[in-house]
Structure 1
């Protein structure tokens, strides 16, 4: 049951034409004040509790691989927690996603808590859409810190304009993707861009093909708490998986629907 104290996030925020233009040109944009102070304080507590309750990573930092050191990762919390569901399925966020993409309706792919622990490692260069068997480029990830953050905590960093070139390398996020895609970014001479600071409740938004990474968390005692939601345009179809990770995603986040079918499983609600 939803708590009566749960803030309802169904009021809309206007995204101006300059922000939309910057998003489509550069492949990413920072939008401030998506949540008000009382809203982010409430949902930070809810998401933290759910993320740690469902976290399955028990290895000490020194025993993890590069991906494991990058963050604690817990997905689809909306499907297990009624209060988190109010966050992930919020019309406020979904309307922004639709406006940025220039589409009428969007669906949720999945949500994802990304908690980079003190001393946590860097996040290698990667493209989110490497994992998604979808036939659309109208995909976007909202990346929202639940606390105030700066570069020291692991700020998301983008290769601006990289989304325009689409698929780069058939490599999952790893040491190998860091090496190969760092070389690719240098060869393409993409400008590198990141915010110096973000406040809790701000959010960056990036296309599924936008190359991005993040430095490690160099603090001794502060966890970078971030919540993400992935959206895609309604009407997309499932594609034949191009790698084992897309096959896993097809079964795990797209309800096992077959290639060629509309991507509209019960795990992908229409949110706007």
Structure 2
């Protein structure tokens, strides 16, 4: 699909599904790098950048945030890669790479990701931002597939409230309306498949109920150059969130 068609589809649906965006060899390299990083450098990360499904259980690692701050390779993946180029294509402007993250839903205990809109956390005007999600292993209904509500980015911000889900502190309080469920699209994925969505697109992910399989993925966030962040409000929110999780 050419750039113009990619952008048109992104603006129409609020998301894109790009199977095989990375080759299996490229995914293997990322997985190997992540495994080595977790084994040898996890202790270098700020505590607020490391989250576990079960506090105190190292086997339940759930999320690593701001990986670009800890490795030149991760920094390149965020700032100078096919991902940053794609972000510029769909947003139609230069972008600022905000964060590179690692996500996991451990087998049997990985909780559902509540329905939400990333823009609620971003606090931007205009809301020019895109989030990307790359499957690092097989993903299906059992171990936590992702879903989007098609066209929801055109309907503005929905009301959000506090959740009990680590790493996803806010969720849409009135999700489940007929239009939500009728327009929801679920995505099984293979390693290297890429999903990306607009900051106002409603999305969620199922829990991992599989007895053995994990659900590992990576995430990229880009803001358009035109987007202005409410820095004071964002800092206050993050400070309050970290205090609650301490």
Same fold (TM over 0.5): yes
Which residue in 2 is equivalent to 1:24?
A: 11
Deviation digits for residues 193-236 of structure 1, max 9, x if unmatched? 122x2121111000111111111111112211110000011132
Unaligned runs of 5+ in 1: 1-13, 65-69, 253-272
Q: How far apart are residue 130 of structure 1 and its match?
A: 0.9
Q: TM-score, normalised by structure 2?
A: 0.80
Equivalent of 1:223, from 188, 210, 214?
A: 214
CA contact (8 A) 2:51 2:61 kept: no
Match of 2:130 among 119, 134, 140: 140
Distance 1:118 1:226 in 2: 14
The two structures have a TM-score, normalised by structure 1, of 0.73
Match of residue 35, structure 1, among 11, 22, 47: 22
Mapped contact 1:35–1:201 kept (Cα < 8 A):
yes
Report the secondary structure of 1:227's partner residue. strand
Match in the other structure for 2:145: 155
Match of 2:203 among 193, 197, 212: 212
Q: Given the superposition, is the C-alpha separation of residues 113 and 51 from structure 1 closer, same or farther in structure 2, using an over 3 Å criterion?
A: farther
Is the 1:47–1:84 contact (alpha carbons within 8 Å) kept by the matching residues of 2? Answer: no
CA RMSD of aligned residues (A): 3.1
The answer as to whether partners of 1:133 and 1:249 remain within 8 angstroms in 2 is no
Kindly state the Cα deviation for residue 153 of structure 1 after the two structures are TM-superposed.
1.5
Following superposition, the deviation at residue 31 of structure 1 comes to 1.0
Work out the CA distance in 2 between the residues paired with 1:142 and 1:59. Answer: 22
SS in structure 2 of the partner of residue 198 of structure 1: coil
1:36 to 1:161, Cα distance in 2 relative to 1, 3 A: same
Mapped partners of 1:177, 1:79: distance in 2? 25
The answer to whether the Cα contact below 8 Å between 1:145 and 1:203 also exists between their aligned partners in 2 is yes
Deviation at 1:174, TM superposition (A): 4.5
Match of 2:244 in 1: none
Distance 2:190 2:209 in 1: 18
Residue 239 of structure 1, CA deviation: 2.2
More strand by share: 2
Count residues in correspondence.
228
Q: Does 1:108 align with 2:100?
A: no
Write the distance in 2 (CA, Å) between the matches of 1:29 and 1:91: 18
Q: Cα gap change, 1:181/1:110 in structure 2, threshold over 3 Å: closer, same or farther? A: farther
Runs of 5+ consecutive residues of structure 2 not aligned to the other structure: 242-246
The answer to whether structure 1 residue 203 and structure 2 residue 194 are counterparts is yes
In the alignment, the residues of structure 1 paired with residue 35 and residue 21 of structure 2 have an alpha-carbon distance, to the nearest angstrom, of 19
- 2:12 and 2:164 mapped to 1: Cα distance? 27
